[in-house]
Amino acid sequence: MNILSFFVLIPLLMLLGLWLAKSLNQVKGVMVTGASLLLLLAVYLTVDYISLRNAGETAEMLFTQSVEWYAPLHICYSVGVDGISVVMLLLSAIIVFTGTFASWKLQPLTKEYFLWFTLLSTGVFGFFISTDLFTMFMFYEVALIPMYLLIGVWGSGRKEYAAMKLTLMLMGGSAFLLIGILGIFYGAGGETMNLLEIAKLHIPSSMQYIFFPLVFLGFGVLGALFPFHTWSPDGHASAPTAVSMLHAGVLMKLGGYGCFRVAMYLMPEGTAVWGDFFLVLTTISVVYGAFSAIVQTDLKYINAYSSVSHCGLVLFALLMMTRVSATGAILQMLSHGLMTALFFALIGMIYGRTHTRDIRQMSGLMKIMPFLSVGYVIAGLANLGLPGLSGFIAEMTVFVGSFQNADLFHRVCTIIATTSIVITAVYILRVVGKILYGTCKNPEHLKLTDATWDERLAVICLIVAVAGLGLAPYWVSNVISGSVEPIISQLIR
Amino acid sequence: MDVTMIFSMQNELSLIAVLVIVLLADLILKRPNHKALQNLTCVLMLIHIALNVVPQTVDLFGGMYHSTPMASAVKTILSVGTLLVFMQSGQWLGREDTQHKAGEFYVLTLSTLLGMFFMVSAGSFVMFYVGLELASIPMACLVAFDKYRHHSAEAGAKFILNSMFSSAIMLYGLSFVYGTCGTTYFADLPQLLTGTPLQIMAMVFFFAGLGFKLSLVPFHMWTPDTYQGAPTPVSGYLSVISKGAAAFALMSILLKVFGNMVDNWSLLLSVVIVITITVANLFAILQENLKRFMAYSSISQAGYIMLAVLAGSEQGMSSLVYYIVVYIVANLAVFGVIGAVEQQTGGKVDRDTYNGLYRTNPKLTFVMTLALFSLAGIPPFAGFFSKFFVFASAFHSGYWIVVFLALINTIISLYYYLLIVKAMYITPSDAPVPTFRTPRMMRASLFLCLLGIVLLGICSGVFDWLTDLSVR
Please choose, from the candidates A311, A305, A226, A308, the residue with its C-alpha nearest in 3D space to the C-alpha of residue A260.
A311
A187 at B interface, C-beta within 8 A: no
In B, minimum Cα distance to A161 occurs at B422
Beta-strand pair A62-70/A75-81:
antiparallel
- Chain B neighbors of A168, CB-CB under 8 A: 411, 414-415
Residues B300/B284, Cβ–Cβ less than 8 Å: yes
Question: What domain range includes position B45?
Answer: 3-471
The ipTM, to two decimals, is 0.89
| pTM exceeds 0.95, yes or no | no
Per DSSP, helices labelled H in A239-296 are 241-246, 252-258, 265-266, 268-295
- Chain B neighbors of A176, CB-CB under 8 A: 407
Residues A173/A218, Cβ–Cβ less than 8 Å: yes
By Cβ distance, the residue of A149, A171, A182 closest to B411 is A171
In B, minimum Cα distance to A166 occurs at B415
By Cβ distance, the residue of A134, A149, A186 closest to B396 is A186
Rounded distance, CA B457 to CA B322, Å? 10
Rounded distance, CA B266 to CA B397, Å? 11
Residues A320/A484, Cβ–Cβ less than 8 Å: no
Strand partners, B109: none
Rounded distance, CA B241 to CA B6, Å? 26
pLDDT recorded at residue B271: 92
B426 at A interface, C-beta within 8 A: yes
Q: Are residues B421 and A149, on separate chains, in Cβ contact within 8 Å?
A: yes
B454 at A interface, C-beta within 8 A: no
Residues B330/B270, Cβ–Cβ less than 8 Å: no
Q: Are residues A141 and B379, on separate chains, in Cβ contact within 8 Å?
A: yes
By Cβ distance, the residue of A69, A160, A171 closest to B414 is A171
DSSP-derived secondary structure letter, A386? -
Judged by DSSP in three states, B145 sits in: coil
Q: Are residues A134 and B400, on separate chains, in Cβ contact within 8 Å?
A: no
- Residue numbers of chain B with a pLDDT score lower than 70: 1
CA distances from residue B286 to A52, A463, B239, B283, B292 in whole angstroms, order as listed: 58, 49, 20, 6, 10
3-state helix, strand, coil in chain A (%, to 5): 80, 5, 15
By Cβ distance, the residue of A70, A175, A190 closest to B407 is A175
Question: What domain range includes position A29?
Answer: 3-491
Per DSSP, helices labelled H in A158-194 are 159-187
CA distances from residue A419 to A240, A285, A432, B259 in whole angstroms, order as listed: 32, 12, 21, 63
Read out DSSP for B18-68? HHHHHHHHHHHSPSS-HHHHHHHHHHHHHHHHHHT-S---EEEGGGTEEE-
B191 at A interface, C-beta within 8 A: no
B471 at A interface, C-beta within 8 A: no
In A, minimum Cα distance to B373 occurs at A145
The beta-carbon contacts of A324-327 under 8 Å, at least 24 apart in sequence, are A324/A397, A324/A400, A324/A401, A324/A404, A324/A481, A325/A397, A325/A398, A325/A400, A325/A401, A325/A402, A325/A404, A325/A405, A326/A260, A326/A401, A326/A484, A326/A487, A326/A488, A327/A397, A327/A401, A327/A477, A327/A480, A327/A481, A327/A484
In A, minimum Cα distance to B418 occurs at A164
Best to test chain B binding among A148, A210, A231 (most B CBs inside 10 Å): A148
Strand partners, A415: none
What is the sign of the dihedral through the CA atoms of B287, B292, B293 and B298?
negative
How many structural domains are present in chain B?
Answer: 1
Best to test chain A binding among B414, B424, B454 (most A CBs inside 10 Å): B414
Please choose, from the candidates A243, A379, A215, A372, the residue with its C-alpha nearest in 3D space to the C-alpha of residue A310.
A379
CA distances from residue B412 to B228, B277, B280, B431 in whole angstroms, order as listed: 22, 10, 10, 30
Q: Are residues A69 and B460, on separate chains, in Cβ contact within 8 Å?
A: yes
In A, minimum Cα distance to B381 occurs at A142
Chain centroid offset of residue B85 CA: 11
Q: Are residues B315 and A69, on separate chains, in Cβ contact within 8 Å?
A: no
pLDDT recorded at residue B1: 59
By Cβ distance, the residue of A142, A148, A152 closest to B379 is A142
**Alpha-carbon dihedral A6, A11, A13, A14, rounded to 10 degrees:** 140
What is the sign of the dihedral through the CA atoms of B302, B306, B309 and B314?
negative
What count of Cα atoms within 13 Å lies in the side-chain half-sphere of residue A335? 39
By Cβ distance, the residue of B378, B392, B422 closest to A141 is B378
- Residue numbers of chain A with a pLDDT score lower than 50: none
Shortest Cα–Cα distance, B357 to chain A (Å): 13
B313 at A interface, C-beta within 8 A: no
By Cβ distance, the residue of A69, A160, A171 closest to B422 is A160
- Chain B neighbors of A239, CB-CB under 8 A: none
Q: What are residue B429's phi and psi, to 5 degrees?
A: -145, 140
How many structural domains are present in chain A?
Answer: 1
On the question of a cis peptide bond just before residue A443, with omega within 30 degrees of 0, the verdict is no
B378 at A interface, C-beta within 8 A: yes
pLDDT recorded at residue B15: 92
A485 at B interface, C-beta within 8 A: no
Q: Are residues B380 and A142, on separate chains, in Cβ contact within 8 Å?
A: yes
Beta-strand pair B65-67/B58-60:
antiparallel
Q: Are residues B403 and A179, on separate chains, in Cβ contact within 8 Å?
A: yes
- Chain A neighbors of B407, CB-CB under 8 A: 175-176, 178-179
pLDDT recorded at residue B270: 92
By Cβ distance, the residue of B384, B422, B464 closest to A141 is B384
Judged by DSSP in three states, B183 sits in: coil
Shortest Cα–Cα distance, B255 to chain A (Å): 21
pLDDT recorded at residue B205: 92
Rounded distance, CA B42 to CA B82, Å? 9
A364 at B interface, C-beta within 8 A: no
Judged by DSSP in three states, B184 sits in: coil
3-state helix, strand, coil in chain B (%, to 5): 80, 0, 20
